[in-house]
Amino acid sequence: MPLPQHDWDHHLDNPFVAEQLDYDRERERALALNMVSFLNTEQLAAYQCIVASVEEQDGKMFFLHGPGGTGKTYLYKTLCHKIRGGGGITLCVASSGIAALLLPGGRTSHSMFQIPVDGLTHTSSCSINKEGQRADMLRQVRLIIWDEVVMQHR
């Protein structure tokens, strides 16, 4: 019988954290190592810069821009596997459901961050309770990959 991958007792009280750690770390590491070998020079430079920032907990933001087919999603997937392979939580979100499907464990930004969809006004805000389980999970996140962020309304 296979051995547990994580200490689930620590995360039983928060299903959001448990869901985000429900990955085979060895498989994630192997995927990341394989994918890194196929990055081009520009992708590798961005990858190294972002991974260094995550590991040093700098809290930096990066904006990747390029036309379709330049490998942005491939880089996002590589970063996701790298951080998850190290036991960190990576949230992969996108402004549209189609783009979210292309990311590992991807969700729409609306569902992940509880962004209201109907009846938006200039005073609308996300409805995440700062003492809730979702907020606790967000505090543990190491990396957020937000594809198509420019498509998101402010």
Residue 59 vs residue 3, higher pLDDT: 59
Is 7 a member of any domain?
A: no
Is 4 a member of any domain?
A: no
pLDDT tens, residue by residue, 15-72:
999 999 999 999 999 999 999 999 999 999 999 999 999 999 999 999 999 898 999 9
Return the closest-CA partner of residue 139 out of 9, 16, 22. Answer: 16
Is 9 a member of any domain?
A: no
Is 8 a member of any domain?
A: no
- On average, the pLDDT of the chain sits at 90
Is 2 a member of any domain?
A: no
Give the domain extent around 62: 14-149
What gap in Å lies between CA 94 and CA 109, rounded to an integer? 5
Number of structural domains in the chain: 1
43 and 71 in contact (C-beta within 8 Å)?
yes
Cα-to-chain-centroid distance, residue 98: 16
Is 62 a member of any domain?
A: yes
Is 80 a member of any domain?
A: yes
pLDDT interval class at 125 (50, 70, 90) = confident
What gap in Å lies between CA 147 and CA 126, rounded to an integer? 19
Is 1 a member of any domain?
A: no
